[in-house]
Amino acid sequence: MHARPRPAEDPSSTPEDFAPGTDERLSPQIARWLREQIISGAFESADRLKPERIGTQVGVSATPVREALMTLTGEGLVSFTPGRGFTVKALTREDITDLMDAHAYFAAQLARRSCRLLSDAQVSELRALQGRIVREGHDGDPHLLDSLDDQFHHLINHVVPSPRLKWLYSVTFKFIPHRLFGEIEGFAEAAIEDHIMVLKGIGNRDPQATAAAMQAHWLNVSAQLIANLRRRGVLVDTSQAGA
């Protein structure tokens, strides 16, 4: 297992603390961390992922790691070969584009429906969150900025009484490597501008404009993410993906 070199002090090179005592089982927590590492390029295509070694790294037994790797195998991020074990599958531009296009669509549909469901107080809360995002977007804490952005989208989505649509949104959302956003030059500024258009649609109670602004926002995120991954050599050509 060969991770791309990172400075030892980089907090993204070590996992979050896993919490055996929480309601969530260990394997989903480990799967979430591994998924983020793979999509962000911490592991390269064809790297072997050994449950025992990963378990030692994150401080758990090999069993939940193996369960997590089986989950990622089902998602197409990892392959399993008897006698060889688990290996990282290649990521292509088309893989990321497909995921982000789907996510943008689901986000737009949620925004369309929430536009007329949000109360005036909730719209005011969104504007207050946007004000904090603007302040943090200019040389602020990228982790806090990511948290505020999550709150912004959660407030829009949670008022929609469509559990299946929200589930589909969550399925695509988990593949987005949020830890990279702080590394993308101009990302915060672009996100701020996108949010302004979303808020304008919501303020006018215009479902079509709100949905269009939200979809454009996530497609902008997609373009910046793909450019970052390509620049760092994470993505391979489609013709090489099966090699």
**Architecture of the domain made up of 11-89:** Orthogonal Bundle (1.10)
Per-residue pLDDT at 85 exceeds 50: yes
Give percent of the chain with pLDDT exceeding 70. Answer: 88
Q: How far apart are CA 31 and CA 123, in angstroms?
A: 35
pLDDT attached to residue 143: 80
Write out the residue limits of the CATH 1.10.10.10 domain(s) in the chain: 11-89
| pLDDT of 5 higher than 60 | no
Closest CA to 35 of 173, 223, 200: 173
Tell how strand 235-236 and strand 91-92 pair up: parallel
Q: What is the pTM of this model?
A: 0.86
For domain 92-231, the CATH architecture is Up-down Bundle (1.20)
For CATH 1.20.120.530, list the domain ranges present in the chain. 92-231
Which of 96, 106, 100, 188 has its CA nearest to residue 149? 188
Query: Which DSSP helix (H) or strand (E) runs through 239?
Result: none
